[in-house]
Chain A
Amino acid sequence: MSNQIEPIKDPGLPAHVHRQADIDPAAADRAERQVATLFWISALGAILLIVSYVFIPQDEFIFIPVMGNQNAHQLGLGLGMAISLFFIGMGAIHWAKTLMPDTEVVAQRHEFRSSDEDRKDFVDTVKSGASASALGRRSLIKRSLGAALGLSLVSPIVLLRDLGPLPGKELEKTTWKSGTHLVTDPGNRRIKASDLEVGAVAQVLPEIEDPEHRKLSDIAKDAVLLIRLRPAEFNLEPEKLAMTHDGIIAFSKICSHMGCAVALYEQQTKHLLCPCHQSTFDVTRAAKVIFGPAARPLPQLDITVDNEGYLVARKPFSEPVGPSFWERDSQ
């Protein structure tokens, strides 16, 4: 056909260009010396490492321009190791590039597909093997085998059951009860309303008998943030306002999104920000979510003072704190 598109022809592999070291013995000797020098530098690196390990004390600092104060021990070890390894590599590659053969070699590929005859034999073997086992016809065997294999996979899952207890209602409970005193964290001291100035923030925990052995898993649900505003700054529904005391409002510090500590309070805007995913809660409106991925406000703790003026919880949290879970009845 005359209008057949004819591709441009393959001119074949370009001719091999000899390197200097291939044709000039002096250049080859020079290359050898260069490779040897690189290996000797590596050896010096190893010596630097050993010297640093033995002779530089661990608390020795030196000033290095740009980098500032550096731990000399760590720097000597690291640089020694880096030099010793890096220059072995440089030497080996320089050796390969200058002195080892650089003629490109052509090897042939073979298609992976076998000859049609072999393939047919193979397929026939598989088929006859399958029919000899009679798996297709003997459905009783097929089904019972399937059931047996399936059930055998269940056993390791069953065996993992004791990894942990069942959650029960635990995710919904905290240590807070009616009348629990609020104590500072750290410090475990009871606090009075007057301890907090307007604009101040404090992290508190419920008072327990043995604060020295407070469990992290309790803190993960109990941590509460106290914030004091001027009462006029609140924009709350009456029942939420009744949960505050003299301008002090208390929220769970555990983010309702993924459980991080909601620790960033912006005094100007009265916003609480979670540093993990930037969910932003408006303190004046009962920690309503005004930005970010959190879908629920931070649960508010109902607080009041006892006879001596110390802050206490009037009631436990009325909803589970922390991130959502399937059984959470959010209404």
Chain B
Amino acid sequence: MSYPRALGNGATTSSAQRVIRQRASCSSTPATGALGATPVTSASMKRRVSIPTLPRNDRAAAVQPGCRRAWRLVLAVLALVAAVAAVALVTPVAAQPPATNVDDARLYDIGSQLRCVVCQNLSVGDSPSEMAQQMRGVIRERLAAGDTPEQVVQYFVDKYGEWILLKPRKSGFNWLVWLAPYVAVAVGLALFAIVLRRWTRTRRTRAATVPGAVDPAMRERIRRELELEGDR
């Protein structure tokens, strides 16, 4: 669509020009210059077009009724938008789609307890894999359906076994896994303490029983070396 660059006084007006005139007159932007073209950028057309303006007298006389209608329309639309926004704000959370009503932190908390089945040492919460994404989707779905986090975890245990849990449950044989490191550290410390005590005690005993004792072989060697020194 192209518009004439400028609309002079007394020029014939087409319907398109009338629309343009109406839009220009309802604009809050004052006209620049009494006559001639005012460049206006139209975003919808994505190119610069020149929209002609009219003399002030013409505008006041010809377009006021249309302008009033346009303002009424704008006010009506604004009122409608405000009403919709107000309804949306006061609507209870339960009425929203259930899938969006799940706290991401809670979702991550559950996901971090579960092993990503296709990953190496990654949780469902951390893995970017498609499988983990789908598992997160299932967690979200179940939480939205009203399951507690414990029930969601139990669902995965039912399907995959306890293998799915990154931390084994503290029950039965699993206690071995939980306690073994502490027992190993305790035994190691005890052994270290015993060995250290024995070493210090032996050294102390030796030092106490034979003060300044020299090994007979060493004594003999020293004697021989001293003799050799003397001969020289």
Bound pair: A and B? no
Q: Which residues from chain B sit less than 8 Å from chain A, CB to CB?
A: none
Q: Which residues from chain A sit less than 8 Å from chain B, CB to CB?
A: none
